[in-house]
Amino acid sequence: MLYLVMAIVAGLVGGLLAVGLQAGLLPHALIDAWAGGDTPGAMERIARRHGMMMVFFCALPALTGGFGNWFVPLLLRARALALPRVALAGWGLVAASFVAVLAGLSPALPAQVSLLALLGWCLGMLMQGICMVATVLNMGPMGQRLRDLPLFVWAQGLAGMMAVMVMPVMAGGLTRIWLAGGDVSAHIDALLHAFSGPEIALLLLPSIGIVSQVVETFCARPLQMPRLVLGALVVMSVGGSSVWVHDLLHGGLAHLAAPSAAVQLGLIVAPVLVVLVAWAQTVRLGHMRASVPMEWAVGFVALLLAGSVMSLRPGGMADVHAATLYAAVFALFAGFYYWIGKMVGHVAPVGASRLHFGLTVGGTVLSLMAFHGALGVLGAVLMGLSVLVFAGIVVQAGLRPGSTLPDNYWGPGARTAEWQAPSPAREKA
């Protein structure tokens, strides 16, 4: 829950920064005082680092540390995580890094502040990845075969394995920047740009796990082609991280600045297409029913399709990155509305949830179509309104006394183990 709370705070701060920057609503006097008189430099840093902040401190922590730590033990019928203190220490490092990154956006502070913050983030996410891999491998029931684990558990384990492979290498790159000196800020931006490949995979792996749960539940049908889907996720995780680590160690940042279309196609697009075919087959054979989580899942699929098309265009990696981040946000909200009753004991109000969905869809479409200009500003405003609606839903969920929902409040389509636990779920005695 700490990861989810931090992700909500980071999302609110990052979203308001983006809306204020794009719509020109940030108070210039306050920005000038915070930036030590270098307002243009502060605005430039916010523009360059906003996407990184949303990925590193909102999307990834919520997808892995939030939903992963909440529901992998429930799906494994385990009492807790394998290494709960390691997970807590990882959260502390990520939360402290978020505060330091916010401070480092000011040109009045040296760029080494951002460097230390990112090193702390790498260590925190590495600890979270180690904890998740240990939980998946060691906390399941005796005699349970790995191949029989739910896809959500596999996706979380593979995301943790990928973090274990790439985070030490990224930390090594940051350390090298520290020792080399020079234009530290430019070198940080180059390394973050080079990290976009594994970043996309780290966002997609847990997102696919969440959306697979939602599709199975609201189609009342087990996921079709499960072995092919699992193979696609393994390619995305182990294959993607191995290629990135090899290229970084042997070619340097310049080699990674423009990954080849063949690498993108083989490690990201092809696995995504396999997953989309499996979901389409599940929908075709099942009986899909409308629900708020399923609407967010459909939005995630639409953005995956858009990102796959963008990846085939020359120079389309920036658009792919933006589409993937928005897709991960849709998966996050699909998971939130799917599991909120299991976490707090009551579901979110349908009217407010659908208003949140509509505003987010409108803001996403306008932001992707026209980031700059009047339409881009309108998209930013819609996204800001959606953030406020979601904040109201979160406050209502936090303040409203918990009630006792049925263990399985989504009906017969929800077959995995968490739907046999009470709602809200409590630690086993």
| Sign of the CA dihedral with 56 first, then 301, 275, and 273 last | negative
- Overall domain count for the chain: 1
Confidence (pLDDT) at 263: 60
CB atoms within 10 A of CB 169: 18
Name the token pair of 282. Answer: 């599940």
Residue 52 belongs to a domain: yes
- Rounded (10°) angle between helices 2-23 and 374-399: 150
Residue 427 belongs to a domain: no
Residue 429 belongs to a domain: no
Taking the C-alpha atoms of residue 209 and residue 149, their distance in angstroms, rounded to an integer, is 12
Could you tell me which of 24, 26, 94 has the C-alpha nearest to residue 63?
94
Confidence (pLDDT) at 185: 83
Rg, C-alpha atoms of the chain = 21
Confidence (pLDDT) at 247: 64
Confidence (pLDDT) at 61: 93
Measured between its terminal Cα atoms, the distance across the chain in Å is 19
Confidence (pLDDT) at 383: 83
Name the token pair of 410. Answer: 């989504």
Residue 309 belongs to a domain: yes
How would you class 226 by CB atoms within 10 Å of its CB: exposed for 0-12, middle for 13-18, buried for 19 or more? middle
Residue 181 belongs to a domain: yes
| Sign of the CA dihedral with 142 first, then 146, 152, and 155 last | positive
Query: Any idea what the CATH number is for the domain that residue 248 is in?
Result: 1.20.210.10
CB atoms within 10 A of CB 147: 9
Residue 107 belongs to a domain: yes
Query: Structural domain of residue 179, as residue ranges?
Result: 1-419
Confidence (pLDDT) at 153: 94
pTM of the complete model beyond 0.95: no
Return phi, psi of residue 143, to 5°. Answer: 85, -5
Residue 123 belongs to a domain: yes
Q: What pLDDT tens digit does each residue of the chain (429 aa) get? A: 899 999 988 888 877 776 666 556 666 777 777 667 776 777 777 777 777 888 899 999 999 999 999 999 999 988 889 999 999 999 999 999 999 988 887 777 888 888 999 999 999 999 999 999 999 999 887 777 777 889 999 999 999 999 999 999 889 888 988 888 778 888 888 888 778 778 888 999 999 999 999 999 999 999 999 999 999 999 988 887 777 776 666 655 554 444 554 565 567 888 989 999 999 999 999 889 989 999 999 999 999 888 777 766 655 556 677 788 899 999 999 999 999 989 988 889 999 999 999 999 998 888 777 655 677 678 778 887 898 899 899 888 877 776 678 889 998 888 898 998 888 886 543
Residue 183 belongs to a domain: yes
